[in-house]
Structure 1
Amino acid sequence: MKKLAAMLLAMTILLSGTAGCNSFTGKSGETSGGTESGAAQTKSVSFYLENEIPTLDQFAASDNIAFNVLNNISEGLYRLDTNNVPQPALAEKCDVSEDKLSYTFTLRDGLKFSNGDPITSKTFKETWLKQMKADTKNNYAFIMTDYIVNGMEYSEKKMDADKVGLETPDDKTLVVKLKAPTPYFLSLTAFVPYYAVDMDFYKNKGADYALNKDNLVYSGPYMLSQYDAAAGATLVKNPNYWDKDSVKVDTVTIKIIKEQSTALNLYKAGQLSRVKLSATDVPSYKDDKEFTTHSIYRTNFIQFNTTAEGTKNVNIRKALSMAIDNNTLMSTILNNGSEAANGVVPKGMSSGIAGKTFGSLQGTLTSFNAEKAKEYWEKGVKELGGTIPQITLVLDDDTENKDVGTYLQSQFKSVLGIDVTLDSKTKEARRALMKSGKYQMGLNAWGADYDDPMTYLQIWTENTNSFRGNFKDTDAANDYANLIKAAHSEKDTEKRADFLLRAEKSLIVDNAVVAPLYYMGSAYLVKSNVKNLVEPNSGILELKYASVE
């Protein structure tokens, strides 16, 4: 989840997506199940994230760690239900024109932020205009400018705001004009960058916005009562939320736990009701009645920097890609429901063609081939003047990434005879390094923002060049950016799918910009008293529907 680059939505960018129920220090009689003896009953759950929360500024957030929080303290026009289907949220309905180019949203009566400020159609228009600005920190301008009439021109300062395809005839009506039919547009409105922001409050706080719980206001089911980016947060029900009576859990604690073994110990002690299992723990618990697995639309991959020493050579990149035995990675390191990937787009994702998944059309793009890897390596070294490049892999410092990094290190040694250095950092430090372009290759991930291949493939065309490997396609006949542009404007579904299939092949096979590793799956232990902790295909946890028995 750019991530759902909208569900999708959504993960780089690594998330735990884990959740649970915790005993809280509070009123007597409170238990790990969340019930309190006496007249009142307090329902409580807790879940954990494997890295610190980078920001809660919606205009700066770009990863699933932040989205896991923002999705539950904020809301958009629509919200995903337990079956990943967008349902009316702050909007009570939407009328779509016959040509599928005009969406008219009608907002609910009496909508308010947690501070009492009204939520109107103008709230959404002003929020979206801010998101579309080219200098918005989260680099998610494209999630609107690619679709909304004159959005790109406004972002590039070539057109005024009043020419953008957003109309507010009254406080309850928002009319959105699209460039081309977009069958997943309602799903986009259920993605964090489309959520409502109190822009008067935002402007008033300035640089202090979202730095603490008092510098935020909330439109979603919950609001913050405690917040520490490195330690976690506590959420409580938002009394101004339009659907507050449907929110069954009163208090949510979010913990930051980087070591899976620590989380498992807390689960065993009754302090968590849901815990993600490491691959080494799966055999011990797979027959337990509390064991379950879950998969999401999230692909983990190696991002190569195409301008760095060593990895600027395409044959070096192809050699490193082909030296990876994904199937052994699954069986020995990630036996948790994850699946070996041969592309960045998950196999089960919609192609836009009825009855056909994207994976069924694409087939196998890449696979482990030790001999071919050696040939590419020798060719690449020769092209570099005979000097064997020293390669470093940067990665996050959580358990899963360190395990995967160690496996890759052994693969490169075994197949290519090279010693790859592992540079383990906090998530934010790793992201900052990659954004600066001072890396050769990094472990990265992307979770779907919505159910369409575009949510993956367009991110290598956006203003994130260093983070995405400074990729520029030099093939005039199959230029990557032009293929994506053509897919955006193509109305014929089969032709559109062909453009996207060609683009993915260019990214992985022809240019070796990324080396796909695995489609994410997770194994969990879940206490039976916690129900409906929904984790849609985006991997962004949905707490609104949770309950405690």
Structure 2
Amino acid sequence: MKIWKLVVLSMVLIVGMTGCNFSSSAPSADTGSNTSKNSDKASNEGTITVYDTNEIRTMVQWAASDSNSFTILNNVSEGLYRLNAKHEPEPALAESYKVSDDKLTYTFTLRKDLKWSNGTPLTAKDFVYAWLKQMSVDATNGYSFIMTDYIVNGAEYLDNKADAASVGVKAINDTTLEVKLKQPTPYFVRLTVLPMFFPLNEEFVKSQGDQYGLKAENMIYCGPYVLATYDPASGSTLKKNDSYWDAANVKVPNVSVRIIKDQATALNAYKSGQLSRVTLSSSDVPSMKSNPEFNSTSEFRTTYIQYNLKDNALTNKNIRLALGYAIDRVTLADKILGDGSAPAPGLIANSMYGDGTKSFRDLNGNLTTFDAAKAKEYWDKGTAELGKAPSLTLLTEDDSVTKTVATYVQDQFKQVLGVDVKIDSKTKKAKNQLMDDNNYQMAITAWGADYDDAMTYLDLWTNGTPYRGNYTSETYNGLIADAKQQKDDAKRLQDMLDAEKTLLTDDAVVSPLFYRGFAYLTKPNVENLVTHPFGTPIEFKYASLK
């Protein structure tokens, strides 16, 4: 797997307002609708304070690979485009772009008079330098592919088979950036919101040498905030960047990001007015749902059952269909998890981009549903074809959430199908190894979106690997191949809609379970503290204080 897909999409987005800290210890018993005597406080002296459960690993852009680093980078810098409060890309350092008729050349026009926080002009050359850095051996974050997969000669440059001048990213002048792609990529602009695409000032970076990114003063900034203090172990403070092109619309002057590793400690800090937002453990959710400060949301991350199509029992399509129909996903998401997770009626998460008017999920409808009668019908057909009821084992990870989900699914199989399915609980590493080694029948696993396009999920099942159930289909692969080279957006979308139906309905390769979510409390005087369901986790730019 590619590292970006391993990290971003196993991101728990835990910046004190995101994440699924299901296994955290429960807080003290005084958690009711009245969370705090200071419940109306959200900040001190114009400051929003949030938290992360892990240390900030690095502020070096080409080395960063964790969600807490992305949180800081996303707020002290930005790219050509930035996600808005509706999670859609909008012009940021670029004011516009044009695409050639063959959809292979993007020409971005930067805003005039952009400046770094030290007063240095920000130009198209800063993007060229940063992108080449990300496509070179200097990049240690494992994300080079996010550019080399798309940009002409990017992969060759990484392999020292092409020089910088031949790579498809060029500064035509100070305000014009030209990007040449290998194939049509309708979501390319949505990629530019990610930290790997942010600009870097070559002169400044080189002047700092190996000290770059180690301290606040070893960096310069082009985002809505600058780092005032930076301590990887204890947290960071940010202050408004007066040199930012849109500084007039940045309403909160100061942000504090603390490191608090224990969820109960974080909740107590929130209750005493020290935090603006806190993530709840699932055990806290029932007592907090009536609190007016309570909210929840789901991410672009799908947990599903992967069937091994080379297993003697699960090679039978009717058995796979029966197992899929036997699961009540609404009860699983709403009652068993109850943390903001949503039932998964398909592989592609709710609200992911579709045609610009409707989401992909709305366009393709509910492909996975609970139907006990159909489940029993398919089970009887399958067992008749096999000659007997199969013995089944469900492979899972050993974290508390997955164990809970597995136990629920096991009970559903027993209640609906009358079958006793064993649970094999392993560490994440051991589970992944068993799947890679083709040593499993079916497993609970998950995938989260790298970018806001269905292809981030759908191209996973084209390679026929054991981890993807040894699935091979000329029909499916043909749909994905056509979608990747398709220049007609409507035809490309139809290819992907058909591909999801082929995967789930026609071939029953996976059974989606839920879209991961989280529940949280936010102080009542904090508004528009935006949490994105994919990519960079949190936006301070749009926040305000009453």
Which shifted more, 531-540 or 373-382? Answer: 373-382
Number of the residue aligned with 2:521? 525
Distance 1:374 1:253, change over 3 A: farther
Within 1, Cα distance between the matches of 2:79 and 2:333? 37
Q: Does the Cα contact within 8 Å between 1:47 and 1:253 map onto a contact in 2?
A: yes
Within 2, Cα distance between the matches of 1:517 and 1:340? 6
Distance 1:250 1:387, change over 3 A: same
TM-score (norm 1): 0.74
Aligned residue for 2:90, secondary structure, equals strand
Within 2, Cα distance between the matches of 1:57 and 1:405? 39
Number of the residue aligned with 1:478? 476
Q: Deviations over 1:138-161 (max 9, x none)?
A: 554454345444545655666544
Q: Deviations over 1:303-343 (max 9, x none)?
A: 74969999997879777656543122123223344321032
Distance 1:362 1:242, change over 3 A: closer
Distance 1:260 1:111, change over 3 A: same
Number of the residue aligned with 1:541? 538
Q: Percent identity?
A: 42
Within 2, Cα distance between the matches of 1:376 and 1:203? 68
Number of the residue aligned with 1:291? 294
Count of matched residue positions in the alignment of Structure 1 and Structure 2: 513
Which shifted more, 309-318 or 367-376? Answer: 309-318
Distance 1:332 1:132, change over 3 A: same
Number of the residue aligned with 2:11? 13
Q: Does the Cα contact within 8 Å between 1:47 and 1:274 map onto a contact in 2?
A: yes
Aligned residue for 1:69, secondary structure, equals helix
Distance 1:202 1:511, change over 3 A: farther
Within 1, Cα distance between the matches of 2:97 and 2:208? 33
Within 2, Cα distance between the matches of 1:68 and 1:380? 53
Distance 1:515 1:204, change over 3 A: farther
Q: Does the Cα contact within 8 Å between 1:308 and 1:439 map onto a contact in 2?
A: no
**Residue 14 of structure 1 aligns to which amino acid in structure 2?**
V
* TM-fit CA distance, 1:19: 3.1
Unaligned runs of 5+ in 1: 21-30, 36-41
* TM-fit CA distance, 1:62: 5.1
Name which of 330, 347, 352 aligns with 1:349: 352
Within 1, Cα distance between the matches of 2:253 and 2:58? 24
Number of the residue aligned with 1:164? 167
1:19-418 equivalence runs, <5 A? 19=17, 33-35=42-44, 42-49=45-52, 56-61=59-64, 64-97=67-100, 101-109=104-112, 111-113=114-116, 119-132=122-135, 138-151=141-154, 154=157, 159-179=162-182, 182-198=185-201, 217-224=220-227, 225-228=229-232, 232-238=235-241, 241-256=244-259, 260-296=263-299, 298-302=300-304, 304=306, 324-352=327-355, 355-368=357-370, 371=376, 391-394=394-397, 403-404=404-405, 407-408=408-409, 411=412, 416-418=419-421
Within 2, Cα distance between the matches of 1:390 and 1:50? 34
**Are positions 1:449 and 2:458 aligned together?**
no
Distance 1:484 1:259, change over 3 A: farther
Within 2, Cα distance between the matches of 1:261 and 1:205? 40
Distance 1:13 1:293, change over 3 A: closer
**Residue 541 of structure 2 aligns to which amino acid in structure 1?**
K
Within 2, Cα distance between the matches of 1:434 and 1:204? 47
Within 1, Cα distance between the matches of 2:72 and 2:508? 34
**Are positions 1:496 and 2:485 aligned together?**
no
Q: Deviations over 1:228-272 (max 9, x none)?
A: 36x654434446544445433343233455665544333222222
* TM-fit CA distance, 1:528: 1.7
Within 2, Cα distance between the matches of 1:541 and 1:239? 21
Q: Does the Cα contact within 8 Å between 2:99 and 2:107 map onto a contact in 1?
A: yes
Distance 1:149 1:518, change over 3 A: same
TM-score (norm 2): 0.74
Which shifted more, 276-285 or 71-80? Answer: 276-285
CA RMSD of aligned residues (A): 4.8
Aligned residue for 2:531, secondary structure, equals coil
Number of the residue aligned with 2:28? none
Q: Deviations over 1:140-197 (max 9, x none)?
A: 4454345444545655666544333322122332112345665544333222222123
Within 1, Cα distance between the matches of 2:256 and 2:525? 17
**Residue 545 of structure 2 aligns to which amino acid in structure 1?**
V
Number of the residue aligned with 1:422? 425
Q: Does the Cα contact within 8 Å between 2:224 and 2:247 map onto a contact in 1?
A: yes
Which shifted more, 364-373 or 493-502? Answer: 364-373
